[in-house]
């Protein structure tokens, strides 16, 4: 399968610090997306990067994609306590199906 696998599994940082989460996948993709999940809730789409893009920004989010290494990273700058959540990468395969990884649980301490 081409599930994305995130690391670290869990990350604890102080408010104001940057948080970096990584995702690796196995096969070719159309695009890679990051989603956020608050505890006990559904996933919310954050940002999408296409396979021909290398970097994308959205507010405090920065996503990179390295298709040669089949990896992506999500950087959240100047983190806030409200950023506490689980973050999942999802890869869109050739049939446009989204496959999610295991997620990174981010805790931002006030």
Token pair recorded at residue 54: 């290398």
Binding region for other proteins (CB under 8 A) out of 59-67, 68-76, 77-85, 99-107? 99-107
Query: In terms of Cα–Cα distance, which of 77, 79, 82, 99 is closest to 29?
Result: 99
CA–CA separation, 79 vs 60, rounded Å?
A: 8
Cis peptide before 8 (omega within 30 of 0): yes
Residue 63 is a binding residue for other proteins (CB under 8 A): no
Q: Using CB under 8 A, which residues numbered 77 to 96 contact other proteins?
A: 88, 92, 95-96
Rounded to a whole number of angstroms, the minimum distance from the CB of residue 78 to other proteins is 25
Q: Which is nearer to other proteins, 15 or 48 (CB)?
A: 48
Residue selected from 40, 59, 68, 69 as contacting other proteins according to rule CB under 8 A = 40
């Amino acid at each position: 399968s081409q599930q994305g696998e995130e690391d670290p599994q869990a990350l604890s940082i102080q408010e104001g610090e940057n948080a970096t989460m990584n995702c690796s996948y196995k096969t070719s993709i159309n695009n890679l997306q990051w989603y956020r999940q608050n505890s006990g809730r559904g996933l919310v789409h954050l940002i999408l990067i296409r396979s021909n893009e290398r970097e994308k920004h959205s507010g405090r989010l920065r996503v990179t994609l390295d298709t040669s290494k089949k990896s992506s990273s999500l950087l959240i700058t100047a983190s806030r306590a409200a950023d506490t959540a689980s973050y999942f990468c999802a890869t869109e395969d050739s049939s446009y199906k989204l496959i999610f990884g295991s997620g990174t649980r981010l805790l931002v301490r006030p």
